[in-house]
Amino acid sequence: MTLHVVVPQESEALPFTVEPGGARVASKEVPERIHRILAGLLDGGAVLSPPGAHDTERAERLATAVHGKELLEHLRHGVPDGSESVLDDAFAAPGLRQETPVTRGVRPAALGAAAAAVRAAELTAARGEHAYALVRPPGHHAGPGWYGGYCFLNNAVVAARTLQEEGAARVGILDVDYHLGNGTLACVEGDATLPFASVHSTRPDDFPYAFPPGPGLFGTGSDPGPQGFLALVRDAVSHLRGQDPDALVVSVGYDVLAGDPHGSWSLAPEVFGPVAALVTQQRLPTVFVQEGGYGLPSLRGAARALALEVSR
Strands 130-133 and 3-6: parallel
209: helix, coil or strand? coil
Residue 9 DSSP one-character state: P
- 82-91 long-range contacts, Cβ below 8 Å, gap at least 24? 87/18, 91/145, 91/146, 91/147, 91/148
272: helix, coil or strand? helix
User: Rg (Cα) of the chain, in Å, rounded?
Assistant: 17
Quick check: is 141 catalytic? yes
Bridge partners, 130 (sequence order): 3
The residue type of 108 is P
The residue type of 175 is D
Q: Catalytic pick from 4, 130, 140, 141?
A: 141
Residues identified as active-site: 141
